[in-house]
Amino acid sequence: MPLFDRYIAVDWSANSRPKGGKDSIWIAERGSGDSVPSLNPRTRHAAISHLVERLEGALAAGERSFVGFDFPFGYPQGAALRLAGRPTWAALWAKIGEAIVDGENNRSNRFAVAAQFNAQLGDDGPRFWGCPVSAASDSLSTHKLARFDAIAEFRAVEKVAKGAKSTWQLFYNGSVGSQSLLGIAYLQRLRARFGAAVAVWPFETDFERQLAAPIVLAEIYPSLDAHDPAVLPKDRAQVQAQVARYASLDAADRFVHALSLPQPFEPQRTTLAGEEGWIVGAGHVGLVA
């Protein structure tokens, strides 16, 4: 029996102004018995408003929803303790949610927040890096200068997911650090909005062990899977491929496997489920419907 009735994939963006088309936000959705066209909201506010509407509708219909976002949900072990005073994902999410301000026009304070966090992290690193020259300061550099001895540059999952970037990189092609800061702040709003109806994978679900919540939010990495090269832009093709794959896996009772922790990482379960997070499907070789 499938775990979910509705699958949503979000290609997130840290653009500083409203934008559509390539390298912007794309949302794909697949449900039971309905076809929802891909959406290309021009701002983060518009994207979250759309998701709230869709999730409220799913709840009212008694449907269970899986929502994947393509940005890191966590940081390497030790970052939460330094930044938030407690070694948990929830403490760091609360810290980020309180610090980030993002206007309806996509103008945010993400670089200022990163500089503030760097001051807390100290000279021995790690440090956020990458920004326009206009945002550079003594606390935030345009290029990577920090050492990553005390805290790692990459999470465990980023060593498994080929091509995944470090959460500390905020700027330049392929970077995900800004998306993560902004995205986590918005996920905090979704958690406040839906309360006990929402669970964050793998933190609140212990990977596949506690999937009872009607809304599950998870980190995805579309580059792990193939997509239709005829569909443009690539961002749209990737999220469409993701929801199709999730629905297919779930119909075959295989999606639960994609949500589980790969056996080689079982000794790290406490850290991964409590602080670093994971990417859906990462480390599961040959996972097909």
Sheet holding 198-200, edge to edge: 35-39, 26-31, 6-11, 65-69, 215-219, 198-200
State percent of the chain over pLDDT 90: 87
- Number of other CB atoms surrounding residue 217 within 10 Å: 26
The verdict on whether omega for the bond into residue 76 sits within 30 degrees of 0, i.e. cis, is no
pLDDT tens digit sequence for 125-180? 789 999 999 999 999 999 998 788 889 999 999 999 988 999 999 999 999 999 99
Helix (H, G, I), strand (E, B) or coil at 77: coil
Residue holding tokens 């980023």? 158
Distance CA 280, CA 219 (A): 6
Distance CA 113, CA 129 (A): 12
- The dihedral formed by the CA atoms of 106, 45, 239 and 190, expressed in degrees to the nearest 10: 130
Residue holding tokens 């905020």? 170
pLDDT tens digit sequence for 5-61? 999 999 999 999 999 999 999 999 999 766 688 999 999 999 999 999 999 999 999
pLDDT tens digit sequence for 62-119? 999 999 999 999 999 999 999 999 999 999 999 999 999 999 999 999 999 999 999 9
Distance CA 77, CA 253 (A): 32
Question: Token pair of 117, please?
Answer: 């966090």
Question: Token pair of 66, please?
Answer: 């899986």
Do 90 and 191 form a contact (C-beta atoms < 8 A)?
no
